[in-house]
Amino acid sequence: MSEHSLEIRDLHARIADGEEILKGVDLVVPRGEVHALMGPNGSGKSTLAKVMAGDPQYEVTGGDVLIDGESILEMEPDERARAGLYLAFQYPVEVPGVSIANFLRLALNARREEGDEIGVMEFYTKLQRAVKALDWDESIIERNLHEGFSGGEKKRSEILQLLVLESRYAILDETDSGLDVDALKVVAKGVNAARGPEFGALVITHYQRLLNYIVPDKVHVMAAGRIVKQGPKELAMELDTRGYDWIRVEAGLAPVGDDEHAPRVGA
């Protein structure tokens, strides 16, 4: 199982010197598959993505995260990227003064051994192919990274990174809020273009809507810091119509209204 997979084993994490948020997460994404992670507001989905990225806000207190059998928890964030992990966040950063093309070339070369840097022509061919796959205008690659980008453009830029960097595993944290249906289609297009035997992804989303375009091989549902249910793609549709309370009750948790992690404005 562990040989070609992204594996999260009984992962516990807390806010540094604070409350435990992840309370034993178990989840495996075999390479070649795309899984969805769903769950109510505040259940710990984004925290899981940030802990996997090595965000220093959180402290891992137990369990492990393995990429193809190798633990990444002791690695710095950039080492995790070199190990094959790609993470896109709900709110991508702006990097003023650095063009998309330059940023991607630096990022790609940072993952390669010294002396094995990608040639300029080879890089531009690759970049242009990815820009085309996302139906984007070529001039975009000279824009500064995320500077003045609309929400949809930032999203498209993240997906462009995913295609160019050729990571083995991607974690995409998608708030559907603020993204119109075209932007959702771009995310789906990118993930579907990356799909193949050498690529695995975990797509975090609230709504079935995105999953109409990215059909997941499996759906995991998180509640109160744990995976409480797994199922086939049909589970996403069931959640869309029935909501999450029945899953929480099945898992022995109080319905959302009673929970300390109930939805909060701005969560």
The residues binding Mg ion (CB under 5 A) are: 45-46
Q: Which is nearer to ligand ATP, 56 or 97 (CB)?
A: 56
Query: Measured between alpha carbons, how far is 93 from 91 in angstroms, rounded to an integer?
Result: 7
Query: According to the binding rule CB under 6 A, does residue 61 interact with ligand ATP?
Result: no
Q: How far apart are CA 252 and CA 66, in angstroms?
A: 29
- Should residue 46 be labelled a site residue for ligand ATP when binding is judged by CB under 6 A? yes
From 43-51, 72-80, 92-100, 134-142, give the range in contact with ligand ATP by CB under 6 A.
Answer: 43-51
Distance CA 240, CA 242 (A): 6
Choose the binding region for ligand ATP from 45-53, 75-83, 103-111, 237-245 (rule: CB under 6 A): 45-53
190: contact with ligand ATP by CB under 6 A:
no
Q: CB under 8 Å, gap of 24 or more: what pairs does 24-28 form?
A: 24/62, 24/63, 24/225, 24/226, 25/63, 25/222, 25/225, 25/226, 25/227, 26/227, 27/202, 27/220, 27/227, 28/1
Give the one entry of Mg ion, ligand ATP, none that residue 267 binds, where binding means its C-beta sits below a cut-off of 5 to 8 angstroms depending on kind. ligand ATP
When binding is defined by CB under 6 A, the residue of 14, 45, 105, 220 that contacts ligand ATP is 45
Angle at CA of residue 233, ends 230 and 239, nearest 5°:
70
42 interface partner picked from Mg ion, ligand ATP, none, CB below 5 to 8 A per type: ligand ATP
Nearer to Mg ion, 243 or 263 (CB): 263
Give yes or no for a contact between 120 and 127, defined as CB atoms under 8 angstroms apart.
Answer: no
What residues line the site for ligand ATP (CB under 6 A)?
Answer: 15, 21, 39, 41-47, 57, 261, 267
